[in-house]
Structure 1
Amino acid sequence: MRAVALYGTLGSLVLSALVAAPAGSADPLTAEARGVEAAARRAAADSIAFGRCPDVESLPPSVQCGTVRVPLDYAHPTGRQIDLTVSRTKARGKPAERQGALVFNPGGPGASSMYFPMVAGMPDWKRVAGAYDLIGYSPRGVARSAPLSCQDPGDFTKAPTQSPTYPSDTYKKERIAQAKAYAQGCARNAGEALRFYTSINNARDLDVLRAALGEPKLTFMGASYGTYFGAVYATLFPSHIRRMVFDSAVNPAPRQIWYRNNLDQSLAFERRWEDFRIWVAKHDDVYHLGETADEVLESYEKVRAGLTREPAGGTVGPAQLQAAVLKAGYYDDYWASRATALSEYLKGNAKPLIQQAAPRPESARDDENGNAVYTAVECNDAVWPRDFATWDRDNSELAKVAPFETWDNAWMNLPCAYWPAPQQKPVDVRAEKGALPPTLILAAERDAATPYPGALELQRRLPGSVLITEKKAGTHGIAGGPNACVNGYVEDYLLNGRTPVRRAACAPHREPNPVSLDERTALRPGHVPPTL
């Protein structure tokens, strides 16, 4: 392994480079900062013993797997340890062409990138895969990385369930009780460990992973939530960054984390929901759901009403319909299949809708685990409103103009109002001028999950960063997607370190084919609905 070879050849000189204290951090002498340094020193010496992947990962033989050990609590680096699973494909080019390791995180919180090395076989990634080891991993709490659970997976995926656009007082009381029970379940299952699932610890873990890979400086691509803890990493460890891509940037302003970001997200999804309906109306000759966006909405409401009366297949109710159609707000790859399902249902054929929206028992454990980590990280990261009256006021007002996703988003996050673990002050993401190498920010102008103002805010806080905008488009996670212009900027940056001066724009990618049901997002790096 590279870290072992380097350490054996160059001794403490290289090892100290791998674990140097983070220059420019607010307080490099804190117990946690010393803990990161100690853990990174250990990881650099031990390296990662890559080998055959366990069958549970369902990865091809071309991908190798290993683990890196990190402290649960960086203030006590010799205390309880957890193992994070890591995956890799080695750079496929000539040895002289190798530039190091490229680490990817797809967001969530709660998503794993263990699949990421598989993109090495895709044409758009050929040159990057020739220059870099492609590294995926499961962050703390995710999958086999000391998995977190807050409730029985069968209860989490229970269906059918309701999803009222304008909930009654009785329904609100039911959801409050569920949120309290969920928060208590997290505390009961995780115990004292619950408070250590945070974005700042995810950033610290990333630095330990960097050291374990034998990399003096980190090359990293984060999508969605991955941009947020990537930005936290840039704040804590600016001197440890080689290149960094922020794909679909979260607004990192402390006042936004996380309550206001979720309100902004719900508003943005209303616009994206309209984009979908306009496209469906444009192709009324195919779907027969209406010739205007309003007529398509009427058709959608007919489907909701039908599922309220009689769930499709006994498992698809209004909430399952909402979750399935929400994916169309993330990726226009889903537009054709979702429009087809709605159209077929109104013709009396519920099979496509059942196939797309019914819960899958085989994924229940992973779904519950992802939601548990999402909840723990977001609830721990910031102080949330503790009285439901605030949530009720803000979401009731927002639902008047953005009814599509507002209340479902609120219910997903409501456990944070009753969170039993300490809630911390958000990290003030920023860097001094000249402290960072050029970094690349990617954003679609109509992205709903991470609205475009977040990219502008991130660029303002990271001097020297460059913003690439896909105009008039709304797909979430645009690197490696259908836009050749975006992909060209990413490849030139990763391979050559070149960027535009400050900002550049790409024309939107082509609209979906209305008769194609090909959902091509399966191996796209940023494919992580339904969270951030």
Structure 2
Amino acid sequence: MDSRRLLRTSATALAAAGLILSGCTGGSDAAASRTTTEAAARASASAAPDSEALKKYYGQKPKWRDCGVTGFQCATLLAPLDYAKPDGGDVELAVSRIRATGPGKRLGSLLVNPGGPGGSAVGYLQGYAGIGYPAAVRARYDMVAVDPRGVARSAPVECLTGPRMDAYTQVDQTPDTAAETNALSAAFKEFAAGCQKRSGKVLPHVSTVETARDMDILRAVLGDEKLTYVGASYGTFLGATYAELFPDRVGRLVLDGAMDPSLSALDLNRDQTAGFETAFRAFAADCVRKEDCPLGTESAAAAGEALRAFFRDVDAKPVPTGESRELGESLATTGVIAAMYDEGAWPQLREALTRAIGGEGSGLLALADSYYEREADGTYANLMYANAAVNCLDLPAAYAGPADAEKAVPSFEKASPVFGEGLAWAALNCTYWPMRPTGSPHRITAEGAAPILVVGTTRDPATPYKWARSLAAQLSSGTLLTYEGDGHTAYGRGSDCVDTAINAYLLEGTPPQDGKRCS
């Protein structure tokens, strides 16, 4: 696994990916509890939205053109590379939309973001949201997406060549010796140095605060007085940050699969580790009821022990995959975690585990490749590069060095006996980041904002349910909607109760009763 903060809705890919935070808990308890926000402080040091310096951005008139994807239009949005120096150059952002289909009065624009950080919002819109969101919502809203700065089509961060990224994903993340620890640190250092070398100009300016400010420019350019938005996973942090910066411009915000902005990088990583354990136990309980379960049919606990034994085996002796890459512990773990995002992937995981335990690892490798967005030709999308770049700016690193990671292993193993050790070491990545972090953990209250709907899934692997409870409580106008189920995020995943509540909020502006539960 890579840095633990990739948080993506499962609709963006097979089961999507979910790396959460990274890094030295530079956030102290005092920092985590304060309500004077980092975003507000940074915004005050930057050009105000109504300043003369930003007028040219807010007054843009995009030139919409055919995207080559039926029904969708595309345009380019300009934003200042550095909001503190808005005359210092631009960043070009890719935007796409599909117009409201009618009937009924058009309600404006609905901006969507699938999470990550690093997920392509334009790809999500064109591949899913613009055609897959409920028809009643698409009838009344222009569906819109912008790839965040540093992501996909918007000045993408680049870090490693395909072959070097292959090597990076295979580095042992459960080091047993000093040499293995040094190799893991060297891999993180090479990754960070590659990002600086290939993307040094944009790398200091891909924070969530800057992306939230870009969203406000887009809101104005689209002609909307208020922002209507559905953000999934990391997209909830982006939406909450927008509400923090521009509470008076909040329209109808849905934050699905919520993050807790008050937590340090270490706590976020550890909480997500516990979330994957919860998801694995649900998978294991389902698996052992089937005669063909590759982890046995005794109990979920025994299945966990069997999976740990398998990980130890492939750590000692990787298995062939039918290509030059073998399946070692790191790729095997990534493959299993990829399938935790959506219970619909459980049959594929059972088959992949059966084959891997039998000595053929191509099934788990395919799952890992989907997680990393690796193409068949050996190239990678920029998902993982943008993921690290945003995370390492948004929060101080989880650790000061490898010794801290080693000390944290027992607490991670307590959170997840199956995944804990590897995810503890994965949080080392931001330790070597070339840019100083610009954010820190803090509560988001967004005083004065219109009602904001926060959605949490009780057995969500990537964004644990307690995060949704916490964010809803922090927001002065937060309302919590709970989905009692499996998988990452809830909207559009099969619950009529959830979809009806969210649709009513988007179409009528009335959130469900706080605390409403769906199954």
Same fold (TM over 0.5): yes
Match of 2:107 in 1: 99
> What is the identity, as a one-letter code, of the residue corresponding to 1:493?
Y
Whole-Å Cα distance in 2 between the matches of residues 258 and 150 of structure 1?
22
Report which of the two structures shows the higher radius of gyration computed on alpha carbons.
1
Q: Take 2:244 and 2:169, find their aligned partners in 1: how far apart are those partners?
A: 44
Within-5 A mapping of 1:46-125: 46-53=60-67, 60-94=69-103, 97-115=105-123, 116-119=125-128, 122=131, 125=134
**Structure showing greater relative contact order (alpha-carbon pairs closer than 8 Å, 6 or more residues apart):** 2
The farther-off stretch of 81-90 and 459-468 is 459-468
Q: Indicate the residue corresponding to 2:266 in structure 1.
A: 259
One of 471, 476, 485 as aligned partner of 1:458 = 471
* Equivalent AA in structure 1 for residue 244 of structure 2: T
Q: Which residue of 1 aligns with 2:350?
A: 339
> Structure 1: which 5+ runs fail to align?
1-24, 55-59, 508-532
Deviation of 1:267 (Å): 2.1
Kindly indicate whether the alpha-carbon contact (under 8 Å) linking 1:73 and 1:196 is maintained by their aligned counterparts in 2: yes
- The answer to whether the aligner puts 1:180 opposite 2:189 as a matched pair is yes
Distance of 2:428 and 2:163 partners within structure 1: 20
Q: Does 1:501 align with 2:513?
A: yes
Q: 2:482 — aligned with what?
A: 469
Q: Given the superposition, is the C-alpha separation of residues 169 and 279 from structure 1 closer, same or farther in structure 2, using an over 3 Å criterion?
A: farther
Instruction: Give the C-alpha shift of residue 61 in structure 1.
Output: 1.7
Q: Deviations over 1:72-113 (max 9, x none)?
A: 10011122111111111100003x521000001111111111
Matches within 5 A, 1:307-326: 308-313=317-322, 314-315=324-325, 316-326=327-337
- What CA deviation, in whole Å up to 9, does each residue of 1:5-56 have, x standing for no partner? xxxxxxxxxxxxxxxxxxxx846983414267557633443222121226xx
* Matched residue SS, 2:78: strand
8 Å Cα contact 1:105/1:136 also seen in 2: yes
SS across alignment from 1:158: helix
- In structure 2, the partner of 1:155 is 164
Deviates more, 1:30-39 or 1:309-318: 30-39
Letter in 2 for 1:499: P
* Aligned mate of 2:297, from 290, 302, 317: 290
Deviation at 1:436, TM superposition (A): 1.1
Paired amino acid for 2:482: T
Q: Give the letter for the 1:394 counterpart.
A: A
Aligned to 1:420: 434
Aligned to 2:243: 234
Q: Cα 1:364–1:111, aligned 2, differ >3 Å: closer, same or farther? A: farther
Question: Is the 1:91–1:133 Cα contact (8 Å) retained in structure 2?
Answer: yes
Secondary structure of the residue aligned to 1:176 is helix
Q: d(CA) in 1 for partners of 2:321 and 2:303? A: 20
> 1:453/1:298 Cα in 2 relative to 1: closer, same or farther (>3 Å)?
closer
The one-letter code of the counterpart of 1:275 is A
Q: Percent identity?
A: 31
Give the Cα separation in 2 of the matches to 1:451 and 1:374: 19
Q: What residue in structure 2 maps to residue 486 of structure 1?
A: 498
Distance in 2, matches of 1:294 and 1:353, equals 22
Task: For 1:260, give the aligned amino acid.
Answer: D
Q: What is the letter of the counterpart of residue 491 of structure 2?
A: A
Shift of 1:184: 2.0
What is the rounded CA distance, in whole Å, between the counterparts of 2:129 and 2:432 in structure 1? Answer: 43
Question: Are 1:405 and 2:419 matched, yes or no?
Answer: yes
Supply the AA of the counterpart residue of 1:53: C
Which aligned pairs between 1:190-229 and structure 2 lie closer than 5 A? Answer: 190-229=199-238
Moved more, 79-88 or 25-34: 25-34
Q: Counterpart of 2:454?
A: 441
Q: Distance in 1 between matches of 2:434 and 2:265?
A: 17
Distance 2:281 2:42 in 1: 48
Distance 1:270 1:290 in 2: 19
1:117–1:213 Cα change, 3 Å: farther
Choose 153-162 or 228-237, whichever is displaced more: 153-162
- Deviation string for 1:192-246 (max 9, x for gaps)? 5322121111111111111121111100111111111211111110011111000
- TM normalised by structure 2 equals 0.83
Structure 2 counterpart of 1:490, one-letter code:
I
TM-score, length-scaled by structure 1: 0.81
Structure 2 equivalent of residue 513 of structure 1: none
Check conservation: 1:165, 1:403, Cα contact below 8 A: no
- Tell me: CA distance 1:310–1:324, structure 2 relative to 1, closer, same or farther (3 Å): closer
Correspondence for 1:170: 179
Which of these residues, 394, 401, 407, is aligned with residue 408 of structure 2? 394
- Which of 31, 43, 48 is residue 34 of structure 1 equivalent to? 48
CA distance in 1, matches of 2:294, 2:279: 19
Aligned partner of 1:467: which letter? L
Aligned residue type for 2:490 = I
| Separation in structure 2 between the aligned mates of residue 275 and residue 353 of structure 1, nearest angstrom | 19
**In terms of mean alpha carbon deviation, does 192-201 or 230-239 score higher?**
192-201
Instruction: Say if 1:377 and 1:37 are closer, same or farther in 2 by CA, change over 3 A.
Output: farther
Matched AA of 2:142: D
Which residue identity lines up with residue 471 of structure 2 in the other structure?
L
Tell me which amino acid in the other structure corresponds to 2:83: Y
- Residues 319, 415 of structure 1: alpha-carbon distance in 2 compared, 3 angstrom cutoff: closer
1:376-391 mapped onto 2 (5 Å cutoff) = 376-384=389-397, 385-391=399-405
Q: Which amino acid aligns with 2:72?
A: V
Distance 2:442 2:493 in 1: 31
> How far apart are 1:128 and its partner, in Å?
0.4
Secondary structure of the structure 2 residue equivalent to 1:380: helix
Kept in 1, the 8 Å contact 2:288–2:303? The answer is yes
Distance 1:38 1:461, change over 3 A: farther
* Contact 2:461/2:488 (8 A) holds in 1: yes
State the Cα distance separating 1:328 from its structure 2 match.
2.3
Q: Give the 3-state SS of the residue equivalent to 1:505 in structure 2.
A: strand
Superposed displacement of residue 161, structure 1: 2.7
Given that 2:96 and 2:146 are in contact with CA atoms closer than 8 Å, whether structure 1 keeps it comes out as yes
One of 267, 272, 275 as aligned partner of 2:279:
272
- Paired residue for 1:371? 384
Amino acid at match of 1:414: L
What is the root-mean-square deviation of aligned Cα atoms in Å?
2.7
Offset at residue 158 of structure 1 (A): 3.5
Please say if residues 272 and 463 of structure 2, whose CA atoms lie closer than 8 Å, have aligned partners that are also in contact.
Answer: yes
Cα offsets for 1:241-280 (capped at 9, x unmatched): 1110000100111xx1423201211122122212111110
Q: Which moved more, 1:70-79 or 1:185-194?
A: 185-194
